[in-house]
Structure 1
């Protein structure tokens, strides 16, 4: 799996509107982020990949790690936050909104979600 493919799997759901806890539970399982352990926080972007790739064309800003390959844009998202873990069952609280996101890009491709609230 390339970094771009992983970004797509973990963060892009262009067909969904998300926004609630049952969405998060389903998507985190389907996208393989509950094994071997529950991922604590994840954001799904509800835009088509062309819109997300366009964020890579905006001016560069520093990433959290200090590299200068991050870019920001406003998109529709669902933030999924782990609330409980019981016998391998991950429970998430989901919240939908439109907000600013920061993503790292390699060339014209998004490869890493840099900002978690």
Structure 2
């Protein structure tokens, strides 16, 4: 009986804190952190081979194997989060949590690999991207296209 009362009080306290906004649920936090690591770089406009070779290595996408293709969004996270506020569209996986926006990107394509090195070709341009978002407020969690 005492355990049940303690659990009820604990649940009530958590719900109160959530209601007051003092505790925020972590909607997709690991996915959001991965999205940031793999796809966001606002410090550079990118667009060349040196950029791709450097960033792919720095961001851990060359080990244990070379990632075939990756896109870096060269915009600040506020701009990217604003894409999450646009109307929902269908993702490649069929879910309806994708959003479309126009940003500067660098597409990195694997051109060569050796035992010690991955080599990439970079192409910078402005284009439409589609990202999946989730949470409240919504945050980007997956690069769709």
Q: Match of 1:109?
A: 139
Give the CA deviation at 1:109.
0.4
| Deviating 4+ runs (over 6 angstroms) | none
With the length of structure 1 as denominator, give the TM-score of the two structures: 0.96
* Map 1:81-92 → 2, pairs under 5 A: 81-92=109-120
Q: Match of 2:24?
A: none
Highest RCO, 1 vs 2 (Cα 8 Å, sep ≥ 6):
1
* Map 1:1-117 → 2, pairs under 5 A: 2-107=30-135, 108-115=138-145
The structure with more helix, counted as a fraction of residues: 2
Question: 2:87 and 2:116 mapped to 1: Cα distance?
Answer: 42
Give the CA deviation at 1:70.
0.2
The two structures, once aligned, show a CA RMSD in angstroms of 0.8
Larger radius of gyration: 2
Question: 1:104 and 1:28 mapped to 2: Cα distance?
Answer: 22
Question: 2:129 and 2:79 mapped to 1: Cα distance?
Answer: 13
Unaligned runs of 5+ in 1: none
Unaligned runs of 5+ in 2: 1-28
The structure with more strand, counted as a fraction of residues: 1
Give the CA deviation at 1:88.
3.0
CA offsets, 1:3-43, max 9 Å, x none?
00000000000111110001000000000000000000000
Give the CA deviation at 1:87.
1.1
Q: What is the aligned residue count?
A: 115
Question: 1:88 and 1:35 mapped to 2: Cα distance?
Answer: 9
